Amino acid sequence: MTTPEPLKNYIDGAFVDSTSDEVIDLVNPVDETVVGRAPVSTEADVEAAVSAARRAFRTWGKSTPGQRQSALLALADAIEAHSDELVEAQCRNTGQPKAVIAAEEVKVGADQLRFFAGAARLLEGKSAGEYMEGFTSYVRREPIGVVGQVTPWNYPFMMAIWKIGPALAAGNTIVLKPSDTTPESTLVLARLSKGILPDGVLNVVLGSAHTGAALVGHPALGLVSITGSVRAGIEVAVSAAKQLKRAHLELGGKAPAVVFDDTDIDKTASGIAEAAFFNGGQDCTAATRVLVHESIHDALVDALVAKAETIKTGLPDDPETFYGPLNNAAHFARVTEKIAALPAAAKIRTGGARVGDTGYFFAPTVITGVDQQDAIVQEETFGPVLTVQSFRDEEQAVELANGVDFGLAASVWTKDHGRVQRITAALDAGAVWVNCHIPLVAEMPHGGFKQSGYGKDLSAYGVEDYTRIKHVMSAHD
């Protein structure tokens, strides 16, 4: 069997070899075969990419909002025109259902890019005026410069769009490092940008955590942005702090779904199960903790189990597949170990094991009998695993919901409008859904509190995060 040539970095509008001889095998999680190799790029590679971005910023940073809008709209069109290629490239690395990649990442990604294209022309600031007699003041909202971005493996293409969209709309140039296990759809995106974005505006450097550290630590960057684990986010924040550069962190989650006794049990169970197991639970906003009123605990558990047992994990071309495998062997091992380490009181109601003998497939899992301090409740599992706890009243429901270190997302399930207002205000989460869980729209912000990080993706707030604000005051005489 012929050994595949290593993938190349995309720097200054061209695909170039890394200066490193070290490579990473890209493993298809469906059948555990090696489908490609990626270089572990060096500090020299990062330097070349940052230098290209710095040169490109001299002109892109001065481009008009209309020019940036036109480029982003053209890139969105190119994405839609090459959907099949993007889907195939990503599926090799993730094993996700192809229909899901096409609908939820490529199509949605193009739409989100079109939103950012429009947002480029709507940046806001305080109106010009005479706030001191004899002087006129106004605010300039400017691009930051070169930004470094690190994307995760759970939604490789969509996360790349979330990073580059607001950064480009605001006039910045980019060096992006995709996850070491899922680089291929990002490289297709980079290739599609050729001739649409000026050379050097978007650069992609492949590699390991070492490569990411070299990028994040580069002194020429004005901002570093990462979507990833809490551990990785802390490392990025520490590195950025040493150089007093800005950081944008979208980290983990442990989202509660708070269910009251006036809800439709079957409809609620269906909505929560789909939000828990979508993408194999490899979603930081996934519903992971069901908190249910004690009076309907057993009925809801039965409904959740019944729904979970209808959800299929399987091959990417199978139209009945709801989610594919876990992304990689190391992550599969971590999820398996978390299940093996459950306390004695915990009860696996369904799932809890591997599916099949090949690939990293894991069954939809529902667990009861857990305590608030158990690791399975407190720590992010990032797999198709759902725990269920009961509460007696609103006060205890909020206490349990907020009683973890994360604060990214939550949902409330009830027909009581007053309760909705009380609970949504009390929940310590950056996004709260009511009688639904997990839908996102480009116009609304995404980002969390506490150890879920800071900064916003999507929306006009996301674009503003990639700008700096300058006050200009002019004397009349």
Phi, psi of 32 (to 5 degrees): 65, 25
In the numeric block, the tokens 């949605």 are attached to 108
Determine whether 443 is an active site residue. Answer: no
Element spanning 399, H or E: helix 394-402
DSSP 8-state secondary structure symbol assigned to residue 188 = H
Where does 97-229 have alpha helices with state H?
98-100, 108-119, 156-169, 184-193, 209-216
DSSP 8-state secondary structure symbol assigned to residue 74 = H
Q: Which of 284, 320, 443, 464 is catalytic?
A: 284
| Contact of 154 with 327, CB cutoff 8 Å | yes
241 Cβ neighbours under 8 A, 6+ residues apart: 247
- Measured CA to CA, the distance from residue 267 to residue 287 in angstroms comes to 15
**What is the sign, positive or negative, of the torsion defined by CA atoms of 402, 404, 410, 414?**
negative
The DSSP bridge partners found for residue 391 are: 293
- Measured CA to CA, the distance from residue 277 to residue 171 in angstroms comes to 37
Q: Which of 104, 250, 380, 464 is catalytic?
A: 250
Collapse the DSSP code of 431 into the 3-class scheme (helix H, G, I; strand E, B; otherwise coil) and give the result: strand
> Count of CB atoms within 10 A of residue 117's CB?
23
Structure token digits, residue 460: 């006009």
- Measured CA to CA, the distance from residue 138 to residue 474 in angstroms comes to 9
Determine whether 284 is an active site residue. Answer: yes
In the chain, how long is the greatest CA-to-CA distance?
81
Burial classification of residue 134, based on how many CB atoms lie within 10 Å of its CB (0-12 exposed, 13-18 middle, 19 or more buried): exposed
Q: How many CA atoms lie within 13 A of 315 on its CB side?
A: 4
133 Cβ neighbours under 8 A, 6+ residues apart: none
Q: In 3D, which of 142, 145, 173, 149 has the Cα closest to residue 467?
A: 142
Collapse the DSSP code of 52 into the 3-class scheme (helix H, G, I; strand E, B; otherwise coil) and give the result: helix
- Measured CA to CA, the distance from residue 63 to residue 299 in angstroms comes to 59
Give the active site residues: 250, 284
